[in-house]
Amino acid sequence: MELVDDASSAADIAGAANAVVLREDGSLYADQFDGAGFVRGVSRKGFVPAGKRALIVGNGGVGSAIAAALAGLGLAEIGLVDPHAAVSERLAERIGRHYPAVKVDVGSKDPEGCDLIVNATPLGMNDGDAPPVDVDRIAPEAYVGDVMLKPGVTPFLRAARDRGCTIQPGTDMLFEMVPACLEFFGFGTATPEELRAGTQQPS
């Protein structure tokens, strides 16, 4: 981020970039696509974040990028929680600079009343792990996402699905993120289905 001339709001809020393009005027522009991949997956499954309440558990690189992308879609409220409270506080400040209309709460991992819950930690990845939030307090109509690529459907996501929730595994974010990157660099695009077929991953 210190080496570029300009950056998107998503990269600024996340404090990190994963794509940099050289513009015609010779300047370097940075962007961040973890969040874009996540929200494209959310949109593909018909969930509309605008006006909703979200909870992001884990506010490091991936979690902050997802928080930035969701805030840009007009969330009413976003809850942030991380083992390191200062990380959440700094992320809340950056969101507030770009999206002051979004209410940001810090410190609680209670999912009750949340329409969207995102696990951006390794918690709940293996059988026997403690889940990142109390699954019994997640509403059956909530949308629940995880960023872990392996296993595809984590025990946490299985538990949420068993409650009736719509779920999004980390692989969905990955295969939505690649088309966004292609478009950013001017290389056209691809569908998640095409990418899955090319990598022999199930849809």
Tokens of 157: 């996501």
pLDDT tens digits, one per residue of 140-187: 999 999 998 887 899 999 999 999 999 999 999 989 999 999 999 999
**Under 8 Å CB-to-CB from 61, ≥6 apart: which residues?**
14, 15, 16, 34
Residue 111 has pLDDT above 70, yes or no: yes
Distance CA 60, CA 63 (A): 5
Instruction: Considering only CA atoms, give the Rg of the chain.
Output: 17
CA angle 38, 124, 117 (to 5 degrees): 40
pTM: 0.89
pLDDT tens digits, one per residue of 52-74: 999 999 999 899 999 999 999 99
**Under 8 Å CB-to-CB from 165, ≥6 apart: which residues?**
138, 139, 140, 141, 142, 143, 144
Distance CA 67, CA 13 (A): 8
Residue 202 has pLDDT above 70, yes or no: no
Q: Rounded to whole angstroms, what are the CA distances from 172 to 30, 42, 153, 175, 196?
A: 23, 9, 10, 5, 10
Tokens of 175: 């295969």
Query: CA nearest 103: which of 114, 35, 84?
Result: 114
| Exposed / middle / buried, residue 106 (Cβ in 10 Å: 0-12, 13-18, 19+) | middle
